[in-house]
């Protein structure tokens, strides 16, 4: 676990988490977003991007907001996602996490966003706009 609490930045945009067939090429609309994450597995092509670019016919879970853990974070740090998810789980808030080389992004349903910020702030996390 971390010795000090982290700073997180609230990203004021709505995102969608999409599922496409794993054989499909990466669609161009996904790349129009300022933030996007693309993961291809053996079973699916998963895309997270700004929901404004997602076509209506795409299987998608919309209305996610994002907190960015301010980084870069050292790979030796232990328990970052665990500590954040524990605080949120105590409030019955589900997360969708994306990790990159430099940091972590926590997606939360927009209806839970304010509650999540309050819960994390109460535990000493600094949330910046």
Given a cut of 60, is residue 54 above it in pLDDT? yes
Give the pLDDT confidence score for residue 1 in this predicted structure. 40
Establish if 69 belongs to a structural domain: yes
Give the pLDDT confidence score for residue 26 in this predicted structure. 97
CATH number for position 31: 3.30.2130.10
SS3 44: strand
DSSP class of residue 112? G
Structural domain including 36 reads 7-128
Which residues are 7's β-sheet partners?
Answer: 126
> How many domains in the chain?
1
DSSP class of residue 31? G
Give the pLDDT confidence score for residue 127 in this predicted structure. 96
Establish if 1 belongs to a structural domain: no
Q: Write the CA distances from 84 to 5, 50, 53, 114, integer angstroms.
A: 10, 23, 29, 15
Which residues are 58's β-sheet partners?
Answer: none
Establish if 107 belongs to a structural domain: yes
Of the candidate ranges 19-23, 44-48, 82-86, 115-119, the one whose mean pLDDT is the lowest: 82-86
Establish if 48 belongs to a structural domain: yes
Q: pLDDT per residue over 60-105, tens digit each? A: 999 999 999 988 677 667 778 889 999 999 999 999 999 999 899 9
């Amino acid at each position: 676990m971390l010795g000090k609490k982290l700073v997180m930045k609230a990203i004021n945009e709505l995102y969608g988490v999409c599922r496409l067939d794993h054989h499909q090429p990466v669609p161009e609309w996904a790349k129009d977003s300022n933030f996007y994450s693309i993961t291809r597995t053996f079973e699916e092509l998963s895309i997270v991007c700004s929901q404004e670019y997602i076509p209506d016919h795409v299987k998608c879970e919309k209305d996610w907001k994002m907190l960015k853990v301010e980084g870069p974070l050292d790979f030796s740090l232990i328990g970052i996602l665990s500590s954040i998810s524990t605080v949120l789980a105590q409030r019955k808030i589900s997360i969708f996490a994306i990790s990159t080389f430099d940091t972590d992004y926590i997606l939360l349903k927009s209806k839970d966003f304010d509650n999540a910020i309050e819960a994390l702030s109460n535990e000493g996390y600094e949330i910046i706009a």
